[in-house]
Amino acid sequence: MGKSLVLHKTGRKPLFRLEEKETGKLKSEDLLIEVYAAGVNFADVLMAQGLYPDAPALPSVPGYEIAGFVKEAGKGSRFKKGDRVVALTYFGGYTDEIIIDEEQAIPVPKNLSLEEAVSIPVNYITAAIALIDMCRVREGDWVLVHGGAGGVGRLALQIAKTRGAKTIATVGSAVKFKTAKEAGADYVVNYREKDFRSEVQKITGGRGADCILDPIGGRNLIRDFGCLVPSGRVVLFGLADIMKEGKASRIGGLTAFVKSLRFSPMLLMNRNNGVFGLNVIKYFGTSAEERLREHLREGIALAAKKKIIPLIGGTYKLEDAQCALNELASRKTVGKLILKCR
């Protein structure tokens, strides 16, 4: 018997309840995980507000990543009781116990805390797919990362540096300026004070960026295209532009869509540019799902070697998840927010 944070009502005032639940029976290669920590992501914010189209029917449990201890292992499992693991979950992560297929689990090295481990899956995988799989970032490339002080942004800056790229981060405050710089950004631009398009041109000597990571969308996406070199790529992986005073709305989503650049094959061909859309959850259940685990393994390995360093921006009790979601929605956070589930 475990406890999960169950979402019963969505909207501007979501309703969560901490409820006991039957964990279920293990199959031969399943693991029962005693969840120590779960990650908080922007998709959880949208799910709570009823704006995430892939969310399961209510009542449901948010959460895409967990870290904890193996409480029980199926007879055919390679893991044993007490092993520390981190895993992606297809929802259900806001809980203190969960059954997963052992293929989802990655061992956590001794020199990595469970808090550090749980801050890696969604953020690292998003950044790695964007930079490595989609943009094919190479040594000497210029990489522009919007939201450079956030969970994805910080890791993206660090991944880009490991591949020999030159990095520019955009942020919206002095605190975030410092955070992005500490993450390894070569240059940081406060977009509230300066136009990032002109700053990118100035920094790169009029060349522009080879790769842009954009979690904002809307009008920001139009500005991105003013920064690209020929053969430059933009990866859109979020729509933070729909947030207003910490809340999202369908009207906000429509407004962001209207403000966005319209893409056509002819436009992209004439500009010699490319645009990718990235939604990590859409990899689940496809032939590319193994790529998620490959990136998670490499992310954990890099963190253990201190080649990437995650930042915990805030820790909350499981029952206080709504506070964490509100903070994330405010766009004032730095690093990764996590829930302590025990």
For the residues of 35-92, what is the DSSP string, one character each?
A: EEEEE--HHHHHHHTT--TTPPSSSB---SEEEEEEEEE-TT-S--TT-EEEEE-SS-
Question: How far apart, in whole angstroms, are the C-alpha atoms of residue 133 and residue 136?
Answer: 6
Residue 302 lies in a domain: no
Q: Kindly state whether residue 68 falls inside one of the protein's structural domains.
A: yes
The tokens of 57 are what?
Answer: 């029917």
Please identify which residue in the block is written with the tokens 């943009």: 135
Question: Which structural domain range is residue 323 located in?
Answer: 2-119+311-340
Please state, in angstroms and rounded to a whole number, the distance separating the CA atoms of residues 265 and 271: 10
Neighbours of 102 (CB within 10 A): 19
> Which residue type, as a one-letter code, is found at position 197?
R
Question: How confident is the model at residue 22, as a pLDDT?
Answer: 85
pLDDT at residue 130, rounded to an integer: 98
Please state, as a whole number, how many other Cβ atoms lie within 10 Å of the Cβ of residue 222: 14
> What band does 12 get if pLDDT is binned at 50, 70 and 90?
confident
* 168 part of a folded domain: yes
The arithmetic mean of pLDDT across residues 172-189, rounded, is 97
Task: Decide if 286 is inside a domain.
Answer: no
Burial of 131 (0-12, 13-18, 19+ CB in 10 A): buried
- Of the pLDDT bands very low, low, confident and very high (cuts 50, 70, 90), residue 242 is low
Using the predicted structure, report yes or no on whether residue 260 has a pLDDT greater than 60: no
Tell me the whole-structure pTM to 2 decimals.
0.93
**The CATH number of the domain where 164 resides is what?**
3.40.50.720
Same domain, 202 and 271: yes
Mean pLDDT of 225-242: 88
When divided into structural domains, the chain yields a total of 2
Mean pLDDT of the chain: 92
Kindly tell me if the per-residue pLDDT of 240 is higher than 70.
no
- H/E segment holding residue 190: strand 187-190
Per-residue pLDDT tens over the stretch 49-72: 998 888 999 999 999 999 999 999
pLDDT in tens, 20-37: 988 888 999 999 999 999
Tell whether 109 and 146 lie within a shared domain. no
Q: Tell me, yes or no, whether 128 and 252 share the same domain.
A: yes
Same domain, 275 and 183: yes
Amino acid residing at 25: K
What CATH number should be reported for the domain holding residue 98? 3.90.180.10
Shared domain for 194 and 108, answered yes or no, is: no
Tokens linked to 40 = 């908080």
Q: Do 37 and 184 share a domain, yes or no?
A: no
Whole-number Å distance between alpha carbons of 46 and 68:
26
Q: Are residues 89 and 219 in the same domain?
A: no
Q: What is the pLDDT of residue 244?
A: 54
φ/ψ (deg, to 5) at 29: -115, 25
Segment 33-44, tens digit of pLDDT: 999 999 999 999
Q: Which two tokens stand for residue 236?
A: 């859109």
- The per-residue pLDDT for range 77-131, each reduced to its tens digit, is 999 999 999 999 999 999 999 999 999 999 999 999 999 999 999 999 999 999 9
